[in-house]
Amino acid sequence: MERDRLTRWRTRAPSSGLLVALTLGCVSLFATGIGPRPEGAGWDRLYDVALYNSAYLPAAAAAWAASVRVRAERLAWRSLGVALVLYALANVLRTLGAGTAGNGPYPPVIDVLALIAYLLLYVAMVGLIRARVPRFHPSMWLDGVIGALGTTALGVAFLIGPYLHPVDGRPAVALINLAMPVMDVLLLALLVAVGAILGLRMDRSLGSVIVALLLVLTGDVVLFARTVDGTYVDGGPTELLWLAGICFAALAAHGARPRPARDAEHSRVGLRLLALPLICNVASLFVLAAGWGDALPSAAAWLAIACVVAAIARTAVTFREVRGFNEVKQQALTDELTGLANRRALLETAARVLTTASARRPAALLLLDLDGFKEVNDSLGHTAGDHLLRQIGPRLQPALRPGEVLARLGGDEFAVLLPEAGLDEAQERAERLRKLILQPFSVEDIRLHVGVSIGVATAPVPAATVQEMLRCADVAMYAAKSAREGVHVYVPDPHGGSGDRLRTMEELRVALQSDQLVVHLQPQIALTDERVVGVEALVRWNHPVRGLLSPADLLPAAEQAGLLRPLTDTVLELALTATARWWPGERVPVSVNLAAANVNDLDLPSKVAAALRRHGLPPEALTLELVEDTLMADPERGRQVLAELRRLGVRTSIDDYGTGYSSLAYLRHLPADELKLDRSLTADVDQDRRAAAIVRHTVALAHELGLRLVVEGVEDAATGAALARLGCDIAQGYAIARPMPVEDFLAWLVTPRPLLLEQARA
């Protein structure tokens, strides 16, 4: 609505070209009257009253239009517009009421109108600066005060002072006649104060207004001086100063546009900030020196002294601001809990270090992640955990050299930057730091032991940037944690195809956003009648350079890059999209594997329900598989999520059953619908009696618990027949079908095929 109104106003407003032409035309017409012009009172009235003052009216109209267009500056532009109208009216009355000499006497109403116009100019300037500076700081106030006091001291000393006392036979000017010069000095002081507050950085509109007022002030000063000397005559070149000022005011108003709000303090930087306060302070010292011995009015001296005092106060405020800035900067680079450097400080220091790093002078980064810290938080509380984290810095700091940075990145993760350390030295330092952390900590009078996994990365090889070095160290730290080896050095993977694992991680981020991932489907059949009772969705990566990549290339990179959750969300979406294509005719559910990050996500049930609704599928169309080890991080939350999924009607399956170390303990409380035996237990089941015994008893256990048993790795018909005899429910493997694209599966689903068990009997 507001934009439409502004658009309509712009269509009605005069164009800038027309406005400038009208204003300059008035100036030119008057300029022609400076030289020879027609004689007679009528011509004088035409030039001095009509043409001269007609320039004020379009400028006032432009100011009023600006007040409608720019709501934040409405008071300023309306004040300027009214001031221009009052000026024009005062000029008309002055011209009509002047004598033949053109220098008075004038009716008192003229002075009243001029005074009101001046006051409105003050309002206009205050309104413009207020719209540009929403929040004034003490330093801004002081800069403005210094500018105003210094300017006023100069004005009183050299503009007003000479007229207070008789000079060379010239009588002193009455105080009432000094009203206009005083107003001029105050207005000039206001303009300088505005420039000091903004640090001489101002937009074109405000700059044009200031130029306009400076021209008007110059004309007023010349008028006052010549009037006192009795040399002023109407129609001289001096009048062009006022008209030029009106032109600038009109252009400023017409060019005014709404501007985004921003803190003016952001632009108050550099030498421009000091320019006007410094000039005014020097000018005040000059006034004090020139007025030595009462040569100048005492008011000028006191104003100059006040300016110097304000400058001293500004110095104190500056000192306080600099100290506060340094404190804020220090806080921005410091971890609040431990007092160590934070991630930002580490990144800034690492960026400086890498600019000078070379093969001869490498740099290294150690990424430390505490092992067992979660147990401290869970058993003793977060206060104890914070106490433990605060002890890491004092424990490790003595082992560091000057220039080396110990930082806390967040949680229980720390980093050490070694500016001049090669790979061997970095590894040796990591081992030393690890030994220090392995020593017991005292927390709330309890001796605690925590472990640590440290990843080591170097620059400029293999990491050329700070982000690459962080990621390399993260990959190495994860490898150290997975292998429980304490310290691991990042080495590029030579079997990474078009790049190492780090590059694969970055390419995977792009793949998740550019539809490079697809699912292949592997059928599952019932061993009783060989009906297709399910299909597992297996992710594949259509890499633009390396071709179709299997999960062996994809999942490790996703895990190390922290992308397992978005990867699983993508696979779930792709799997349900495929299932919706066959579900109306073939009610074959799809299985999707969950990562640990998904199992512990309390929002997972709602996400799954929304995905099913989005594809028009019932809950029984989906089975979610998880490896039992994924519940190790947070068993209670995992059981809560799985129970909620089962309440929705979504089936859950324990994948790779038998490969963990707590299977029976989890089966007691785990809400699941089926077990999937790992291929390591089903291989050679038709030949190995021990393997057959394990499968037989697992089948009995599953059925006793109300679970169905799915066997993976059925590679031939003989294995399938043996598993059927042992009581297994569902089979999956190459003997049935290999994973295939969605289109191929749709064709396979409706194509007659030989039965697996009949092949075994044959």
**Which tokens go with 91?**
């000029």
Confidence label for 602 from pLDDT (cuts 50, 70 and 90):
confident
Token pair 């006007």 is at which residue? 276
Task: HSE, CB side, 13 Å, CA atoms: give it for residue 725.
Answer: 13
- Give, in order, the Cα–Cα distances in Å from 238 to each of 85, 111, 117, 215: 20, 20, 20, 10
Examine the pLDDT at 636 and tell me if it is beyond 50. yes
pLDDT at 578: 94
DSSP-derived secondary structure for 33-87: TTSS---SHHHHHIIIIIIHHHTHHHHHHHHHHHHHH-GGGHHHHHHHHHHHHHH
pLDDT at 182: 84
Question: HEC states along 112-134?
Answer: HHHHHHHHHHHHHHHHHHHHHCC
Residue 598's closest CA among 658, 647, 557, 558?
558
| DSSP at 320 | H
Examine the pLDDT at 236 and tell me if it is beyond 50. yes
pLDDT at 31: 47
pLDDT at 551: 81
Poorest-pLDDT segment among 77-91, 137-151, 255-269, 270-284 = 255-269
Interatomic CA distance for residues 574 and 511, integer angstroms:
14
650 three-state secondary structure: coil
Interatomic CA distance for residues 233 and 18, integer angstroms:
32
> Tens of pLDDT along 267-282?
444 555 666 677 877 8
Poorest-pLDDT segment among 327-336, 389-398, 607-616 = 327-336
Token pair 């200031």 is at which residue? 210
Per the rule left: phi > 0, alpha: psi between -120 and 50, beta: everything else, 548 is beta
Q: For a pLDDT cut of 70, what percent of the chain falls above it?
A: 79
Burial, 290: exposed, middle or buried (Cβ in 10 Å; 0-12, 13-18, 19+)? middle
pLDDT at 426: 92
Higher-pLDDT residue of 50, 304: 304
> What phi and psi values does residue 335 have, to the nearest 5 degrees?
-75, 125
Poorest-pLDDT segment among 1-15, 17-31, 430-444, 593-607 = 1-15
Task: HSE, CB side, 13 Å, CA atoms: give it for residue 434.
Answer: 25
Token pair 């030949």 is at which residue? 687
Examine the pLDDT at 32 and tell me if it is beyond 90. no
**Which tokens go with 72?**
């934040």
603 three-state secondary structure: coil
Instruction: Characterize the bridge pairing of strands 363-371 and 413-418.
Output: antiparallel
Task: HSE, CB side, 13 Å, CA atoms: give it for residue 433.
Answer: 34
Q: Measured in whole angstroms, how far is the alpha carbon of residue 409 from the centre of its chain?
A: 19
> What phi and psi values does residue 199 have, to the nearest 5 degrees?
65, 35
Residue 421's closest CA among 437, 400, 452?
400
pLDDT at 13: 42
Examine the pLDDT at 264 and tell me if it is beyond 60. no
Average pLDDT over residues 587-592: 93
Interatomic CA distance for residues 161 and 246, integer angstroms:
29
Examine the pLDDT at 391 and tell me if it is beyond 90. yes
Cross-strand pairs, 657: 677
**Residue 542, H or E segment:** strand 532-543
Interatomic CA distance for residues 566 and 558, integer angstroms:
9
Average pLDDT over residues 483-500: 67
Average pLDDT over residues 442-471: 87
> Tens of pLDDT along 395-441?
999 999 998 999 998 888 999 999 988 888 999 999 999 999 999 99
Confidence label for 719 from pLDDT (cuts 50, 70 and 90):
confident
> Tens of pLDDT along 202-220?
778 888 888 888 888 888 8
Higher-pLDDT residue of 218, 614: 614
pLDDT at 368: 94
**Residue 679, H or E segment:** helix 679-682
Interatomic CA distance for residues 681 and 699, integer angstroms:
12
pLDDT at 1: 39
Average pLDDT over residues 446-462: 89
Cross-strand pairs, 542: 548
Average pLDDT over residues 381-385: 87
pLDDT at 321: 66
Average pLDDT over residues 432-452: 89
Average pLDDT over residues 534-548: 88
**Which tokens go with 528?**
């009783």
Please name the amino acid found at residue 605.
Answer: P
- 558 touches 567 (CB < 8 A): yes
Mean pLDDT across the chain: 79
> Tens of pLDDT along 326-382?
566 666 678 888 889 888 889 889 999 998 888 788 899 999 999 888 888 878 888
Q: Can you list the positions of beta strands (E) in 124-211?
A: none
- Beta-carbon contacts of 730 under 8 Å, excluding residues fewer than 6 positions away, are 524, 525, 526, 527, 533, 534, 674, 708, 709, 710, 711
pLDDT at 331: 60
- Give, in order, the Cα–Cα distances in Å from 447 to each of 364, 370, 382, 392, 574: 32, 16, 16, 15, 51
How many C-beta atoms surround the C-beta of residue 4 within 10 A? 8
pLDDT at 392: 93
pLDDT at 260: 61
**Which tokens go with 610?**
């929304």
Examine the pLDDT at 169 and tell me if it is beyond 70. no
> Tens of pLDDT along 62-83?
899 998 988 888 998 999 999 9
Q: Between 272-290 and 138-155, two packed helices, what is the crossing angle to 10 degrees?
A: 40
Residue 338's closest CA among 280, 412, 401?
412
Examine the pLDDT at 472 and tell me if it is beyond 50. yes
Instruction: Characterize the bridge pairing of strands 517-526 and 547-549.
Output: unpaired
Cross-strand pairs, 519: 539
- Give, in order, the Cα–Cα distances in Å from 676 to each of 55, 91, 552, 667: 92, 100, 20, 13
Token pair 């709602």 is at which residue? 606
Poorest-pLDDT segment among 40-44, 52-56, 87-91, 261-265 = 261-265
**Which tokens go with 497?**
């195809």
| DSSP at 633 | S
| Cis ω for the linkage preceding 460 (within 30 of 0) | yes
- 77 touches 38 (CB < 8 A): no
Question: HEC states along 404-458?
Answer: CEEEEEECCEEEEEECCCCHHHHHHHHHHHHHHHHCCEEECCEEECCEEEEEEEE
Instruction: Characterize the bridge pairing of strands 532-543 and 517-526.
Output: antiparallel
Task: HSE, CB side, 13 Å, CA atoms: give it for residue 34.
Answer: 11
